[in-house]
Each structure stands twice: as structure tokens, then as C-alpha cells.
Chains A and B, each alone.
Chain A
Amino acid sequence: MSTFASSRETTEGTIYSVTGGDWDQVASEIGSAKEERVVVNMGPQHPSTHGVLRLMLELEGETITELRCGIGYLHTGIEKNTEFRTWTQGVTFVTRMDYLSPLFNETAYCLSVEKLLGITNDVPERATVIRVMMMEFNRISSHMVALGTGALELGAITPMFFAFREREKVLDVFEKVSGLRMNMAYVRPGGVAQDLPEGTVSHIRDLVKDLRKNFKDNADLLIGNSIWIKRTKDVGYLDLAGCITLGVTGPVLRSTGMPWDLRKTQPYCGYENYDFDVITADTCDVYGRFLIRMQELEQSLRIIEQCCDKLDALDGAPVMVADKKIAWPAQLALGGDGLGNSLEHIRQIMGTSMEALIHHFKIVTEGFRVPAGQVYSAVESPRGELGAHLVSDGGTRPYRVHFRTPSFSNLQSTSAMCEGSLIADVVAAVASIDPVMGDVDR
């Protein structure tokens, strides 16, 4: 032991600290030690911990007796920062929390702001349909990362290539619609930043057919694959009672057979008008969660198809609330130097209307006032219930923004899932929770 490890005496006996070195040699020396209690630190820079997650594992042989999570490595102070910006600027911060599903962050935030303003019913229908469509595309791209990296972490490389191939096409849609592939700040209080560019709906109709065909590639690789089943079946077990007391939501909760999906149980954004199924499994394990994510892809495609029909019927309708005291004044357009205010708008405020210029200046620099109070709005993100708790003191800036993020709550269940299992199963269990560390730490 002494060749690799520095040792120190403590009340619990001699403690050896090992870092680096040849792991085979270290392991064989550990085997010759009298006591077999080993504490292994995994992460925060570890390729299979799904981001900067640190796991402290207490082992007996290969069995985990105690597991603790160390988080906070990606804490960015987003909640505090929003208190120093206007309500509209807040969108650009919250979109960066769960960077795999930015549109859900934006929508949860905007639904809360709209509730505070009392304009929930004034948001134009076309804006709401676009929100739903973008969110469902985002669910697909997020599940693609969950499935792809989850498989990669368990040693299956091809599924990741297939998953990222499809995700790329979804990100192309985001780029086409919002100009950005992630962190779009596309959903704004009162509607969305801009209307869909021409030809988007027909592009999406083609893409849906394409995706539906290609999703089968991954399904064929993994469903029924004996190695995959051995690594995931009965692993990371967490039953309904465990989920409820730990506040676990999303696919992990639905893998216990509980059909709890806010899109069905407490519909928002008009989800009650869409035809789709809530997918459940009754195995409470990693395999069940994997199957749920696989099948949710198809449900998202179904919703997107219905969105396309609605968008065709709503062609030319507004995408921002009519109240000029809230709506962003600019109409964005793509120019030679990138996306910016449309020439027409510049011409109007600079050339013809002093009042329009003042209005533009005021609403962009000062923002709008939001009546005092507090609200909580939740959406079903790919990971579970994402809630935005917003407090206003009547000013132009949020008084307090708190996000109840599914990754944070769900990650708590890692200990319950893993203690007593083998160390290799930790990787599968964490992958099945699909935590995004930006979402955990905010």
C-alpha cells in the first residue's frame, strides 16, 4: 500500500489516500489489506457521471454500502442574476439552466410571468402552438442525448451516433426557427420572439416522417439486446413509494406504473387539445425508464404532427400578445449582418414616429412592471416537473426567481437506487435519472 498511498492515522484507523497510479496494482494491494472498506471518489470530471457530478462511494468489495452526491460544480447564480435584469432579459438566463431542454425552462418562466401579469388567456393561440411544437422537438432532442449517452456510458457506442444524428436534425429546426441551436431565448413573456420562417411547417412534416423511420435504428439495437437487458433490467430499482417521498417525477416516476404527466393531469399551453398517450412501465428499473423514453419519442412526433395542422390553420396569426405595454416592440428580420430589428421597424421609429422611438427605448431599457405577488407554474420537462416560482414586488425586475428543477430532486434518489448494488450499476442508474448538472446547480 505504501508504494502508492500516503497514509495518516485517524480515530477510525489508518486511512490511505490513493490518487492516480496503475489501478490494477492498487486494487491488488487493497486486496491484501486487512479491512476492505474503501471510499472511492467518482467525478466530478468522470466521463460516465453525466456531467460534473461527484459521487462518493463507500464500498465493500464491489458492493456499495453508502453513496453520496457532491453537487454545485456548475452553480452559476442564475437565480440571483435574474434579480438584476428585466423580466424579459430573465429568459436569456433561465434558458441556460437545463441546457438540454432550454425551451422548457423558457416556457415555465414565461408561463409564470404571464400568470403574474394576468395575461395567460391573452397569449395568441399561434404562439402557444409554436411553444408546444418547439417543446416536443426539444423533448426529442433531450431524450436523444439521454438514450445516446446512457448507452455510451454502458459501453454501446453505435446508439450514440444514431441518437446524435437525429438530434442534429432537430437542432437544425431550432436554428431555422430561432436562429440558435440551444439557449435560444425564443419563448418570451407574451408569446414567442418571432414567427416561423416560410416553409417551416412543410419542412417539419418531412422531418417527422424521417425521424419516425430512423428512431427504429436505435430501437433495433437496444430493445431485446441481451447485453443491454443484463446491464439495465432490475438495476436502479426505485418503487412508487420511494419516488413519491423523494419528490421524483418524470420517466423515473412513470417507470413505477404511475401515469403522472402534467401534460395530461394539469394541462398547460392547451395540451388538453392534443391526442397523445402517457407512457408507463411497471418494472421500476433502468430498462423501464429506457423504454419509456424510447416510446415518448413517438408520442412527441404525434403531437408535432397535430401542431403542424393547427399552424396551417393559424397561418398569419399573431405570435405576441396584443398589449403594446408588454409586447417586445421590434420585429426581427435577418439582414446582411445577422438577425436584428427589421429595416421597416427602424425606418418607422427613426424616421416617422418619435413616440414609437420613445416607446421602443422605454420598453427595451426599462421593461414592463409586473404586479406584486407570487406564482408557481410547472411544465412536464423531459426529466419531470419543472416549476418556476416567481415573486414580484411590482417592479420591472423579478424580486425572486426560484426554479424547482427535476434534475435536482431526482438526483437525490441516486442513493436509494444504488446502495446495496454493484459499482457498475451506479453508471446505469445515474444515466436513467438523466440529470443535467446545469439544471441541478443552476
Chain B
Amino acid sequence: MSEQKGMFGASGTGDTSGYGGLVRAANSPTSAQRPYGSYFDDVADELERAFPEFNDAIEKVVVDRGELTLHIKRERLFDVAKTLRDTDTLRFEVCLGVAGVHYPEDKSRELHAVYELLSMTHNRRLRLEVSVPDSDPHIPSLVEVWAGTNWHEREAYDMFGIIFDGHPALTRILMPDDWPGHPQRKDYPLGGIPVEYIGATVPAPDNRRSYR
């Protein structure tokens, strides 16, 4: 994630407070080192055993706030997902959904798809994250692995424009079919309406001064 400049979201004004020059780097969690702790080592070990191309498929492993995230190359996503579901010692039989996230500053990895997995057999959770460039927003569909991702992938397509290759019917799901653009991308405006009072207006939420 990008660094943040200033404090009040406004620039070019006569800011004499000095806070305008503040630069803060946002510290995203970095790649974790072994041992990961909890059941995370077991999951990594078992996946490595069941999936020989493990090192090629996994971009990084993040352990943060008691949660395990595997960043996976999109070419390997389908095979990793199948392995996670079918291996006895892993058995992530439920995919709880797909959430898109748009990071415009993360160059050539702008669009992320985040999968929350659940193993009821072993009572474990796991997160998969796949990132693709804006110019080539293709990710293999996991509907064949978990049928329940069908609507979730349609939602991520609708809201972020991520194209899930192999999806049986990738159409918009929440927005009308002829809607232009993908509303939850960061470059899509909120479209707020200012609140008017007699003699004054309060700007719409997306135009208000924000305290970063």
C-alpha cells in the first residue's frame, strides 16, 4: 500500500500547522518466516507434500493477526484449490466466498481476489489471495471446485471487473446488466449528493475533507 502525505486531505492551502508535510508509510504485513505458529505450519507442510510445485505456486505466505494468507499465482490457483479441497489432511471443503479488493497503487497487481476457505473436518480457516494486473484481469474460475463460488465470482466481476475464466455464466449480479463501469473500484466515484441547508451546503461524503 502507498505512503500517505499530509493529514487533512487538502493541498495547496496555506497550511501553517506543519502537518501538511507529514509523510507516513503504510506498513502492510510482510512475508512470514517459519515457524508460522498455530496450525499454519501443518497446513503449509501438508500442502507442500500434496502439491509438489508448491514453491512455484506460492508468491508469499502472510501470517498476520492470527490468520494465514497464501498469495498464489493465478496460473496455479485452480490446482492449489483442488489440492486444498481433496487432500485428506487439508480438506478445505467450504469456500466462503470471493472478495475483490482494488489497490490502484500496487502496480501491475491492481486487482486482488480474496478467497476465505473453511475446513469443517479440521476446524481450520485459510485465506487465498490472487493478484492480477488491471490490464489483464483474468483469474481461473473455481466454480468447478466449489460450486458456491458461482455468485461470489459474479459479484467480484460486477464490482471490480475481474474476469473469471471458465465461469458458467459470468454476468452482472447486483448491478443492472447495462451498467457501465465497476462500482467498487477505487477509481469509480461514490457519487454522493451534497446536503443542502438554507444558505449553506454540506458536501457529499466523497468530497469532504478527509482526515487521513
Which residues of A are at the interface with B, using a C-beta cutoff of 8 A? 71-72, 75, 77, 79-81, 83-85, 115-116, 118, 244-248, 258, 260, 265-266, 365-367, 371-376, 378, 385, 387, 389, 391, 393-397, 399-400, 402, 404, 408-409, 411-412, 441-442
Which residues of B are at the interface with A, using a C-beta cutoff of 8 A? 1-2, 4, 24, 26-29, 64-67, 69, 93-97, 99-102, 114, 116, 118, 120, 123, 125, 127, 146-152, 155, 172-176, 183-184, 190, 192, 205-206, 208, 210-212
Contact of A247 (CB < 8 Å), options: B65, B96, B190, B211: B96
Q: Which residues of B contact A411 (CB under 8 A)?
A: 151
Query: Considering the chains assembled together, what is the distance between the CA atoms of A292 and B167 in angstroms?
Result: 35
B171 to chain A, nearest CB (A): 11
Query: Considering the chains assembled together, what is the distance between the CA atoms of A231 and B114 in angstroms?
Result: 40
B194 to chain A, nearest CB (A): 13
Contact of B148 (CB < 8 Å), options: A371, A397, A409: A409
Q: Which residues of B contact A385 (CB under 8 A)?
A: 96, 118
> Are the C-beta atoms of B67 and A412 separated by less than 8 Å?
no
Most chain B beta-carbon contacts within 10 A, residue among A71, A248, A385, A400: A400
* Residue in B closest to A411 when the chains form the complex, CB atoms: B151
Q: Which residues of A contact B205 (CB under 8 A)?
A: 81, 84-85
> Are the C-beta atoms of B148 and A246 separated by less than 8 Å?
yes
Known: A400-B99, A402-B101, A442-B174. 18 other contacts (CB 8 A): A71-B173, A77-B183, A80-B183, A84-B190, A244-B94, A245-B93, A247-B95, A248-B148, A265-B123, A372-B29, A374-B69, A375-B65, A387-B96, A393-B1, A393-B4, A395-B4, A399-B101, A412-B151
Q: Which residues of B contact A83 (CB under 8 A)?
A: 190
> Are the C-beta atoms of A372 and B1 separated by less than 8 Å?
yes
> With contacts defined as CB atoms under 8 Å apart, how many contacts are there between chain A and chain B in the complex?
130
Q: Which residues of B contact A260 (CB under 8 A)?
A: 120
* Residue in B closest to A394 when the chains form the complex, CB atoms: B26
Q: Which residues of A contact B69 (CB under 8 A)?
A: 374
Q: Which residues of A contact B114 (CB under 8 A)?
A: 374, 389, 402
Query: Considering the chains assembled together, what is the distance between the CA atoms of A372 and B212 in angstroms?
Result: 13
> Are the C-beta atoms of A412 and B29 separated by less than 8 Å?
no
> Are the C-beta atoms of B175 and A72 separated by less than 8 Å?
yes
Query: Considering the chains assembled together, what is the distance between the CA atoms of A396 and B26 in angstroms?
Result: 12
A84-B206 contact in complex given A245-B148, A247-B148, C-beta closer than 8 Å: yes
> Are the C-beta atoms of A244 and B93 separated by less than 8 Å?
yes
Contact of B125 (CB < 8 Å), options: A116, A376, A402: A376
* A-B contacts, 16 listed (Cβ < 8 Å): A72-B173, A72-B175, A75-B175, A80-B183, A80-B184, A84-B205, A115-B66, A246-B147, A247-B97, A260-B120, A372-B28, A375-B65, A394-B1, A395-B26, A409-B148, A441-B174
